[in-house]
Structure 1
Amino acid sequence: MIDGYAENLRLNEALTLFDKMPVKDTVMWNLMIKGCVECGNMDMGLKLFEEMTQRNVISYTTMISGFLKFGKVKEAESLFSEVPQKDVAAWNAMIYGYFENGRVEEAVKLFELMPYRNVISWTSVISGLDQYGRSDEALLIFKKMLDFFIEPTSSTFASVITACANARDLGLGSEIHACVVKLGYLYDTYVTASLITLYANCMHMDDSSKVFSERLHINIVVWTSLLTGYGLNYKHKEALKVFGDMIRIGLLPNQSSFTSALNSSCEMESIDLGKEIHGVAVKLGLNTDAFVGNSLVVLYSKCGNIDDGLIAFKEIPEKNIVSWNSIIVGCAQHGFGNWALTLFAQMVRSRADMDDITFTGLLAACSHSGMLEKGRRLFQYIPQSSSIEVTLEHYSCMVDILCRSGKLNEAEDLVKSMPMRPNLSIWLALLSGCKKHLNLELAERAAENIFHLDPNCSAAYVLLSNIYAFSGRWNDVARVRGNMRRRGNTKQPGCSWVNQKGIRHTFLSGDTSHPLNDGIYEKLEWLTEKLKEYGYVPDQRYALHDVEDEQKEVLLSYHSERLAICFALITTHGSAITVMKNLRVCGDCHSAIKLIAKIVDREIIVRDSSRFHHFRDGFCSCSDYW
């Protein structure tokens, strides 16, 4: 009865019954102390322990485990030193507790001091080392264990196979798989899940699927391993099919299942599928779980719906650093700098931890919102805020902020004053700023530094060529493009795509291959006429080819994002249109899409390689600053 009360967290009733007992032996005292530990009342557990007249090693071990469970390492160490006759269970409790509290070196040292070790001792060390990224050491411990003729259990095999997965050691993992089959452990749930993860991590997804299909599984751990494995191998459709199959057979997903499924939806940029999964999470009450909530924030942010991303963020009751970073980075991607800074202020007030990603997101938000002074203050604040060091990413963001604000000389001075060697992204940020403000002299210096680091950097060739084209220096354009061809570099073709019902519809500039081609071009011609009525004049500088003006206008009107928008217009009605693009949207298309949004009276969201643009009623959320 006492044990039952404790297991159901009804500690007061367990204590009342315990007090009524006329005779209490050591077993009953230990059971009651264990109940206090399980219910989280260490003070009562310690009181009972001190009242005991006859303690045994189980009494000590129960209290040691309790102290370690709640992070009281010093108290556990002190009590462990008082144990009169330590058995292997007491030693194991300390080793397990050390790992649970991140005290890896102490755990290993204690393991080496043990007078006798059983299979639990070895398994705890293998699992603990692997958990803290020391998988190679874990595998060495396993080999040493075999040298001592210790027979592994299913838990040992599950731990060591997981270590093989994390170490990407397919050879040893396959050998252990064979041992598992011989010893009859193949049908253990956790062994199966570990094998699926092993082959998935080693990019052998067919073998993962084979392990899964060897029997009918009704355990969520095994299904989630397969689901996560498909996602890891970029087979997101297959991952979502596994998730759907789980639901169909009545297997309830857990937090990890939802996280993996939402991540696959995000990678497919399918907000429709993501919303369906979100709906299932709401029904099961898991939408407020931190891991699921974080995945929802990332899904909505990356798929163009920052409003729903904010709602998902607000619904997370206990936000962790990933929650805060995800929403700040999301706001930055959408150019909502003030929102990002407001959230950061809330983050500071809540005393949440912050890291280098937090400040990268904040600086990016300042860059995309034209907040020069706030960006400067944040950049200066980083080394003062905590132990966070200023990284290359922070410098790259700050250079971008200065360049977008026209402070090119200051940006170059910052690059020269850096305590570490500038990398490609920093020089590319400077070169990109030169394009915006047509500073040829600085552009050539930046390009020279880029080609010194990477002679085959195609992005630098394209940027430099575009700067020359904007300036009308067509001979220099030809020279740069010739150098690019001689090195075997090719310009990445601009393409745009629209996702509908899990299907991606992709368009290149001037594309005529789509099945709805006639309808798309008919809509494009209609829009072209409407744009002229609204006073739109093509900006021929963005054609970037030395051809006649009339031909430049045609080239601009056939840009991939316009074709994608026309496709969405003829296949959807009323809702917002979301278009993804692999390159930055050109200035002429940006002007045209503002008017198109007004003409068709719909919101058009375009994500280019830099950020999201929300077009409404003739305006863009970037305020023409991108």
Structure 2
Amino acid sequence: MSALCLVITKFKSPPSSFSYTIFRCCSTIAPTNSSHGFKCMMNATKSSSSYKHLLFQHLRNQRLDEARLVFDKIVLPDVGLYTMMVKGYARNHRLSEALKLFYEMPSKDVVSWNSMIQGCLDCGDFVMAQKLFDKMPEKNVISWTTIMNGLLQLGRIEDAEILFQEMPNKDLAAWNAMIHGYCSNGRVEAALLLFEEMPSRNVISWTSMIGGLDQNAKSNEALLLFKKMMNSDVNPTSTTLVCGLTAAANVLALHVGLQIHCYVFKLGYCFDEFISASLITLYASCRQMEAAQKVFHEIRYKNVVVWTALLTGYGLNSKHECAIDVFREMMRMSVFPNQSSFTSALNSCCGLEDLERGKEIHTAAIKLGLETDVYVGNSLVVMYSKCGHINDGTTVFKRINEKNIVSWNSVIVGCAQHGCGMWALTLFSQMLRERVDPDEITLTGLLSACNHSGMLQKARCFFKYFDKKTSIKLTIEHYACMVDVLGRCGKLEEAEELVRSIPMKAGTTIWLALLSACRMHSNLDVAERAAEQIFELDVHCSAAYVVLSNLYASARGWNEVAAVRRKMKHNGVVKQPGSSWLILRGVRHEFFSGNWSHPQSEQIYRKLDWLATKLKEEGYVPDETFALHDVETEQKEEMLSYHSERLAIAFGLLNTVEGHKITVMKNLRICGDCHNAVKLIAKIAAREIIVRDSSRFHHFKKGICSCGDYW
């Protein structure tokens, strides 16, 4: 028997093409020595196995070029090795090389075709994936499901439905893929119908449907389906439990969450980090931070998801100091924060209005290479804007690699709050050039920008354009912004007419906007009508009483002022006290008008007395109309001198180095007299003073304000 026959009889099945070819080579070299030929073949097979292992290692570590060198050394690689290499190229988005190698394959099986189609989809080339699918000599259910998933990812629901109906055979994976696709594209009702039609279901079917309902704002329905699944003897996976816990957190269903927590214990998922993170989120959302902390401390190995859940939970419960401490502890424990961690930490900095801590987190983002990430960048823009530093916010915005609608909205709204109206409009123009479609928040930002810059005609154009030419539906907030624009520009009758013509019911917010404008222009007639509407809606609205009282006081209608105050007392309404605060070295210092409780009160009042002298030298004369009390002139001047923002500014001047910016936050609108005084104080002290009141930011520098005395 020849050497070839001897070896073939050793195999229960035909040898691979590679082994067979190597053996023939060996037979040619030593035709009379069959054992020698067999040894050669075995060595070659061993070498092939080593190459395959080395190829696998290179591909797993994304060393594509080294993998190709190994691949090229293999004599006549089989279809499996070709497919491995094609997959490696596609996973690393080297699609052209994957296709070239695919076309070079001497033979292709259905696995290699499916792998190449999936590779095209992973690289975003659906057209090529469709061409390959159409060319396939033989398709299986995986082929159909793969191309259907591609259609669903592109939002081509109708095409995916047609393909699903045309599938010669549908397995459970195909049904599940269609349900998941429906849910991902907001077609949750269609997903439910398909779910009911399924000939059989597995835990993936249930999980996809539960998660889809929750993601489409149907969390209560998701919990009902979760309960139905548990009653049908289907054992949930960790992903199913996470979906259930997320739905419970979204609707604050603590009792349901507790039941799911019991399932977690029963099924042995206590140490699953993603379930633990979901439990922390559930308890934090339901204001049960002690329970959230307990879950956190029971976890032996905490990953970044668990840390971020606790960090976010503290933020949800307005425990921002604790949130920042968690972030710092993460860094100390070498748990590198992800985008969500940075977003939550920066939100807490906004809650604290603490610029220094925000900068600290910004530095950490730079070190980890996340400053230009869109989610981190957006949060940084918001943080700098809310802490009074819009220039830094716009600088961060420019560095974001791939800006989304949130990026543009954040910087437009930020510019509007700081009175940079033309910046906001310029950014909007750039946004349109980048082909980013505006949304409801964009319009709010644009109207606010026009409002704070007195651009009435532009506001009218935007309002009309978005109402008539876009699919964006105007909300009550948009109408309130437009009323505010008209009111500030003195168009009070037009503003009142707009309020009465809006298609939805006007709430207190929109009438308050009109009432505030009446205060600015001393229009008692419209003010009284607006106040009447407000009191019909909410008799306890303290802001309306205060604005109306101030209007009467400005007109010296002290009897009317007394009547408003009696009405407030009768209805149990308490005026919100005016306060101002600033953050210095991580500590919040809050001041109230005429308050002497601060440890540095004596120094603060001496500083204010010194400033009062300097102000008079600059020609400042107190505007007594803002004292709003029926008292003597001297008393009015004293009241004005000790308003809370002036106390905060004096404290800032005492406790910061020369040239340092002072940022003061205020819960009410700054009065006209303080506005005039702070302009001169900024000039006297040679400082930039930033005051954020309830309306906007004011940047005082060298005797002028960024608002141009229009706010």
SS state of the match for residue 682, structure 2? helix
Displacement of 1:442 after TM fit? 2.5
Q: Say if 1:311 and 1:455 are closer, same or farther in 2 by CA, change over 3 A.
A: same
Determine whether 1:597 maps to 2:674.
no
* Distance in 2 (alpha carbons) for counterparts of 1:29 and 1:342: 50
* Match runs of 1:59-208 below 5 Å: 59-208=143-292
Residues 467-503 of structure 1 deviation map (CA, whole Å, 9 limit, x = unaligned): 1111122222122112211221121111100012322
Q: Say if 1:449 and 1:308 are closer, same or farther in 2 by CA, change over 3 A.
A: same
SS state of the match for residue 497, structure 1? strand
* Distance in 1 (alpha carbons) for counterparts of 2:613 and 2:534: 43
Does the 8 Å CA contact 1:217/1:223 hold for their aligned counterparts? Answer: no
Determine whether 1:476 maps to 2:560.
yes
Q: Which moved more, 1:408-417 or 1:355-364?
A: 408-417
Does the 8 Å CA contact 2:273/2:302 hold for their aligned counterparts? Answer: no
1:617 corresponding residue in structure 2: 702
Determine whether 1:533 maps to 2:617.
yes
Amino acid at match of 1:172: V
* Distance in 2 (alpha carbons) for counterparts of 1:29 and 1:382: 48
2:315 corresponding residue in structure 1: 231
Displacement of 1:35 after TM fit? 3.2
SS state of the match for residue 172, structure 1? helix
Q: Bigger relative contact order, structure 1 or 2, given CA contacts below 8 A and separation 6+? A: 1
2:37 corresponding residue in structure 1: none
Q: Say if 1:378 and 1:59 are closer, same or farther in 2 by CA, change over 3 A.
A: closer
Q: Say if 1:415 and 1:39 are closer, same or farther in 2 by CA, change over 3 A.
A: closer
Does the 8 Å CA contact 2:419/2:707 hold for their aligned counterparts? Answer: yes
* Match runs of 1:198-597 below 5 Å: 198-573=282-657, 574-597=659-682
Identity, % of aligned positions: 62
Does the 8 Å CA contact 1:273/1:501 hold for their aligned counterparts? Answer: no
SS state of the match for residue 436, structure 2? coil
SS state of the match for residue 538, structure 1? coil
Q: Say if 1:70 and 1:398 are closer, same or farther in 2 by CA, change over 3 A.
A: closer
- List runs of 5+ in structure 1 lacking aligned partners: none
Displacement of 1:88 after TM fit? 0.7
Displacement of 1:76 after TM fit? 3.1
* Distance in 1 (alpha carbons) for counterparts of 2:130 and 2:533: 66
Amino acid at match of 1:581: K
Displacement of 1:12 after TM fit? 4.4
Q: Say if 1:44 and 1:387 are closer, same or farther in 2 by CA, change over 3 A.
A: closer
Displacement of 1:20 after TM fit? 5.1
* Distance in 2 (alpha carbons) for counterparts of 1:377 and 1:50: 51
Displacement of 1:592 after TM fit? 0.6
Amino acid at match of 2:630: D
Q: Say if 1:337 and 1:17 are closer, same or farther in 2 by CA, change over 3 A.
A: closer
Q: Say if 1:152 and 1:522 are closer, same or farther in 2 by CA, change over 3 A.
A: same
* Distance in 1 (alpha carbons) for counterparts of 2:129 and 2:478: 50
* Distance in 1 (alpha carbons) for counterparts of 2:693 and 2:419: 12
Residues 159-203 of structure 1 deviation map (CA, whole Å, 9 limit, x = unaligned): 111111112111111011011112111211221111111111111
Displacement of 1:118 after TM fit? 0.7
2:18 corresponding residue in structure 1: none
Amino acid at match of 1:345: S
Displacement of 1:125 after TM fit? 0.6
Q: Which moved more, 1:402-411 or 1:494-503?
A: 402-411
2:50 corresponding residue in structure 1: none
Does the 8 Å CA contact 2:90/2:120 hold for their aligned counterparts? Answer: yes
Please tell me whether Structure 1 or Structure 2 has the larger radius of gyration of its CA atoms: 2
Q: Say if 1:445 and 1:31 are closer, same or farther in 2 by CA, change over 3 A.
A: closer
Amino acid at match of 1:404: R
Does the 8 Å CA contact 1:268/1:502 hold for their aligned counterparts? Answer: no
Q: Say if 1:551 and 1:132 are closer, same or farther in 2 by CA, change over 3 A.
A: same
Amino acid at match of 2:710: Y
Q: Which moved more, 1:476-485 or 1:10-19?
A: 10-19
Amino acid at match of 1:601: A
Q: Which moved more, 1:379-388 or 1:179-188?
A: 379-388
2:92 corresponding residue in structure 1: 8
Displacement of 1:575 after TM fit? 1.7
Q: Give the number of equivalent residue pairs.
A: 626
* Distance in 1 (alpha carbons) for counterparts of 2:477 and 2:250: 27
Q: Structure 1 length normalisation: TM-score?
A: 0.96
Does the 8 Å CA contact 2:276/2:299 hold for their aligned counterparts? Answer: no
SS state of the match for residue 664, structure 2? strand
RMSD after superposition: 1.9
Displacement of 1:55 after TM fit? 2.7
SS state of the match for residue 235, structure 2? coil
* Distance in 1 (alpha carbons) for counterparts of 2:223 and 2:407: 34
SS state of the match for residue 505, structure 1? strand
* Distance in 2 (alpha carbons) for counterparts of 1:93 and 1:512: 68
* Distance in 1 (alpha carbons) for counterparts of 2:498 and 2:220: 42
Q: Say if 1:426 and 1:155 are closer, same or farther in 2 by CA, change over 3 A.
A: closer
Does the 8 Å CA contact 1:597/1:603 hold for their aligned counterparts? Answer: yes
Displacement of 1:417 after TM fit? 3.4
* Distance in 2 (alpha carbons) for counterparts of 1:582 and 1:74: 53
Displacement of 1:463 after TM fit? 1.0
Amino acid at match of 2:325: K
Amino acid at match of 2:441: I
* Distance in 1 (alpha carbons) for counterparts of 2:502 and 2:162: 49
* Distance in 2 (alpha carbons) for counterparts of 1:42 and 1:422: 49
Q: Say if 1:116 and 1:618 are closer, same or farther in 2 by CA, change over 3 A.
A: same
Displacement of 1:527 after TM fit? 0.9
Displacement of 1:140 after TM fit? 1.5
Q: Structure 2 length normalisation: TM-score?
A: 0.85
Displacement of 1:16 after TM fit? 4.9
